[in-house]
Amino acid sequence: MYTERNNARRKQLSSSRLLLVAAMILQMAAIIIGIRPAMVYAAENTVQDSTKINTKKQPQIYIVDKNGMGDFVSIQEGVDNASDGDTLLIYPGTYIEAVQVMNKDIQIVGVSKDLCILQYDTAFYRKIPLTIASGKVSNLTIHGMDSKVQQIGPTQEEIDRMNAELVGDSWERQKNYSGYAVHIDQNCLYGKNMIFENCRIISENNHCVGIGTRGKSKISFENCELISMGGGSCVFMHDPTSIEVSGAAALVMKNSSMTSYLCPYVMTFQSLFPAYNSIDLTFQNVRVSAVAYAESDGYISDNVNTSFEVETLLELEQAGTLYVNGLNTSATALVHEMSPKEANDYMKALEEALDAGDAAKVMAIKLPEGISYIGKIPQDSETDTKTSAPLFSLPKFNTAKHQVIAVYNAGNQPGSGWCGLNNAVLNADSFGNTLVEMNNTIPYTADNAVFPNFGIGY
């Protein structure tokens, strides 16, 4: 009996050694000829399974190559075949897809954000370049387009499926909205993280990124560019209204940039269920290039932001008292007051680029770091007879608040949190940012500010 067991054991070890050698050969082949990692994983798993059955699936790496040289030709095909923990390696190309990652925690990794582009027309709220909730996305450009071409909406079957998912909402309401470039709003985010690294996110319609938080979760952006070209801001964030998925959430943004070419808001926050939700905000070295207007229909009267208005920041900066109020900025000048010609040239160049649907042409228009303030641009008949430039009028105050961060609370009253948001706190480790609201300094409001004696009244 002992001999039989020994013989069986020797055979098992011999078999294991052969399989191990096979795995090593495959690994060497992977280095020499670039064999796909999934094959290596398979060989390694076979070695492990020869002595003990391993029920836990090892993470796989799949190649997505639109030219047919990988495992899949589309990102969505890769998503459909991937499992939690798997990685999709995206090869260079422009992928015109509405990718939906539902209830999966995977990594989507491009080889370069300049070479790997995911884009889709965002005419419809639920058909956008990327719908995702947890995992990691890196080295991609994600472009929410406005192609100016009539798009085909969802079928009745798709609408029925949507309405079954939309508790307290309906497609009848959502159909009136264009889509984000990226949408993060699924219950599977609860207790997980969503990470973006080295990404460029462009939106020609709605907000660049729409976020519905979940409890015990964190959404982070590092070394990312968020570029808004349409009517939405760079980030829109709200809390959930269901107790089951409520709780503390965090937004972290580091070494990134946000540019808003048209929308007067760079970020938008909404508090829906403050009794059950909180948001911890961390901003580090975030550069902002924003626009503000003396007159614009884009400002919303429901904004309850308690920080300074742009006109006040401009006057504080011009008087040299910005830092007296405990405010600091990474920009050389926080508020740039455009001349009449600059404002006219900017709006004309932007309109031409947007009408042409040319995102590259829009991004070629360089906005300085800080807030570019566009005064009242009068009718063409109101011109300076000497220079033929439009006459420039700069009113101090308008009815709606002129701020680059919008805050909406349930009940439409300011709260005690960050910028008047009911349930948000700015982390103490926030520094080096363009906007004064994003830097952790002494508490400030219009009521405790130190103003020079030039007659500002509230």
Are 418 and 426 within 8 A, CB to CB? yes
Pairwise CA distance, residues 371 & 314, whole Å: 9
Residue 296 CA to residue 376 CA, distance in Å, equals 9
Per residue of the chain (458 residues), what is the pLDDT tens digit?
A: 434 434 443 444 344 344 433 444 344 344 333 434 443 344 344 444 444 455 667 999 999 999 999 999 999 999 999 999 999 999 999 999 999 999 999 999 999 999 999 999 999 998 999 999 999 999 999 999 998 787 777 788 877 877 777 666 777 877 778 899 999 999 999 999 999 999 999 999 999 999 999 999 999 999 999 999 999 999 999 999 999 999 999 999 999 999 999 999 999 999 999 999 999 999 999 999 999 999 888 898 899 999 999 999 999 998 888 876 678 999 999 999 999 999 999 999 999 999 999 999 999 999 999 999 998 655 444 444 444 544 444 444 446 889 999 999 998 999 999 999 999 999 999 999 999 999 987 444 444 444 333 332 22
Q: What is the pLDDT of residue 149?
A: 80
Short-list 263, 230, 226, CA closest to 145: 230
pLDDT of residue 384: 47
The two tokens of residue 133 are 């909730």
Residue type for 224, please?
Answer: C
Torsion sign (Cα): 66, 68, 69, 71: positive
Residue 42 has a pLDDT of: 42
Tell me, what's the pLDDT at 391?
A: 42
Helix H, strand E, coil C: the string for 229-263 is CCCCCCEEEECCCCHHHCCEEEEEEECCEEEECCC
pLDDT digits (tens, 9 = 90+) for 382-416: 444 444 544 444 444 446 889 999 999 998 999 99
Which has the closest alpha carbon to 179: 210, 211, 140?
A: 210
pLDDT at 399: 65
Instruction: Tell the burial category of 383 from Cβ atoms under 10 Å away from its Cβ (0-12, 13-18, 19+).
Output: middle
**pTM of the predicted structure, to 2 decimals:** 0.81
Q: Compute the C-alpha angle 229/235/239, nearest 5°.
A: 145
Torsion over CA: 448, 454, 456, 457 (sign): positive
Of 218, 230, 235, nearest to 404 by C-alpha is 235
Q: What is the CA radius of gyration of the chain?
A: 27
How confident is the model at residue 56, as a pLDDT? 67
Calpha distance 445→437 (Å, rounded): 10
Edge-to-edge strand ranges of the sheet holding 287-293: 93-96, 116-121, 141-145, 200-203, 225-228, 257-260, 287-293, 370-374, 335-337
User: Half-sphere exposure of residue 132, counting CA atoms within 13 Å on the CB side?
Assistant: 26
**In angstroms, what CA-CA distances link 22 with 33, 46, 57, 226, 378?**
16, 10, 20, 47, 77
- Spatial CA neighbour of 281 closest among 232, 213, 207, 233: 213
Predicted confidence at residue 448, as pLDDT, reads: 46
* Eight-class DSSP state of 34: -
- Whole-angstrom distance, CA of residue 226 vs CA of residue 257: 6
Residue with tokens 């993060």: 184
